[in-house]
Amino acid sequence: MVPTAFDYQRASSVGEAVTLLAESGGNAKILAGGHSLIPTLKLRLARPATLIDIGRVDELKGISEDGDTIVIGALATHDEVATSDVVQAKAPNVAAAAAAIGDLQVRNCGTIGGALVHADPASDYPAAILTDEAEMVVQGPGGSRTVSAADFFVDIFATAVQEDELLTAVRVSARAAGTGSAYLKFPNPASGYAVVGCAANVTMDGGKCASAKVAFNGVANVAFRDAGVEDAITGTGADAAAIAAAAECAGNGQECMSDTFASAEFRAHLAKVYAGRALAAAVADAS
């Protein structure tokens, strides 16, 4: 299909992009890598009056360190995130999620900012962002603000970023000593999107699980932390029996999605399977 007509603006800075958003009166879309937006334009699911291209805004690019925090620019490509030495070492769930996205072409064009704001519940980043308790830096007419991962994902294809705001960076704290990490998914064989994806961070101390963070994407309309699994594994020796018992809590109370590929019942089953696998991998990584 052919998109509806729109005006095209290329921003040269974050400030200019924010100004253009404000001038659009809520009828503009941000164009970064385009892998989420362009298909919706072609299907006319999105019909903006204006496209604001931020692809050449250098201040949105790059990956750096700020003390114990990794700062990932919104225009960092999935490949840059996946192959970054600092992200791999200090926020490995985010690197693993980036590496699991699409194919080589998609990873070299798509951006972390675009993927997060698009908020597809089957995308790979959200679970990793939640387990790593990242903060999203958002800029609008009133200045810059930060949004915690817990508050960022609002609904299916909806986030806390307002119509006149721009996601500029993702800030991730380096994982604590003694913490193991894992992100695993059951991919749709056609699209590669996560039918179920599970991220886990497990901190071991004295042979016991001192803390755990477990999150899912693909299961429900919104990615979520699973307190049931976290509470069940914390304080145990995180052996096979404890992991299996904790995994049985996965997805409890969630309204699972259903589509032509996977029923809600199948997703509920996969959530338990992948909780167990991700916990086991994270515990092994902590050893």
Cα–Cα distance, 14 to 141 (Å, whole number):
11
The boundaries of every CATH 3.30.465.10 domain in the chain are 61-173
What does the CA dihedral 146, 152, 157, 161 come to, rounded to 10 degrees? -20
Estimate to the nearest angstrom the gap between the alpha carbon of 103 and the chain centroid: 17
Cα–Cα distance, 131 to 150 (Å, whole number):
10
Name the CATH architecture for the domain at 179-286.
2-Layer Sandwich (3.30)
Question: Does this model's pTM top 0.85?
Answer: yes
The boundaries of every CATH 3.30.390.50 domain in the chain are 179-286
* Among 191, 92, 75, 81, residue whose Cα is nearest residue 137: 75
The boundaries of every CATH 3.30.43.10 domain in the chain are 7-53
Of the options 3.30.465.10, 2.30.30.30, 3.40.50.10190, 3.40.640.10, the CATH number for the domain spanning 61-173: 3.30.465.10
Quick count: other Cβ atoms within 10 Å of Cβ 110?
23
Cα–Cα distance, 149 to 280 (Å, whole number):
24
Residues in contact with 239: Cβ distance below 8 Å, sequence separation at least 6, in sequence order: none
Say how many CA atoms lie within 13 Å of 104 toward its Cβ. 0
* Among 76, 247, 240, residue whose Cα is nearest residue 172: 76
Asked if residue 174 lies in contact with residue 84, where contact means CB atoms within 8 angstroms, the answer is: no
pLDDT of the residue at 1: 67
Residues in contact with 73: Cβ distance below 8 Å, sequence separation at least 6, in sequence order: 59, 60, 61, 62, 63, 113, 168, 169
Q: Please identify which residue in the block is written with the tokens 């830096």.
A: 137
pLDDT of the residue at 29: 92
Note the CATH number of domain 7-53.
Answer: 3.30.43.10
pLDDT of the residue at 35: 77
Asked if residue 215 lies in contact with residue 199, where contact means CB atoms within 8 angstroms, the answer is: yes
Cα–Cα distance, 246 to 230 (Å, whole number):
8
Q: What 3-state DSSP class applies to 182?
A: strand
- 10-residue block means of pLDDT along the chain (287 residues)? 89 97 93 86 89 96 97 98 98 98 92 96 97 98 97 96 97 96 97 96 97 98 98 98 98 96 98 98 95
Cα–Cα distance, 205 to 18 (Å, whole number):
46
Q: Please identify which residue in the block is written with the tokens 């693993």.
A: 96
Q: What 3-state DSSP class applies to 77?
A: strand
